[in-house]
Structure 1
Amino acid sequence: MNLRHAAALALIGWYLIAPPISPGKVRDDLPLSQWKRIGTESFRTKSGCEAKLAELYNPTIDQTMRSDPKVGAEGYEIFHRYMNDVQCISTDDPRLAK
Structure 2
Amino acid sequence: MFNSNYFVYITSNTTRSTYYIGVTNDLARRLNEHYHNSGDRKTFAGRYYCYTLIYYERLNSPDDAIAREKQLKGWSRSKKEALIRKHNQLLKSLNNLVLE
When the two structures are superposed, what TM-score results if normalisation uses the length of structure 1? 0.35
Larger relative contact order, structure 1 or 2 (CA cutoff 8 Å, min sep 6):
1
- Structure 1 or 2: more helix by fraction: 1
Larger Rg: 1
Higher strand share: 2
TM normalised by structure 2 equals 0.34
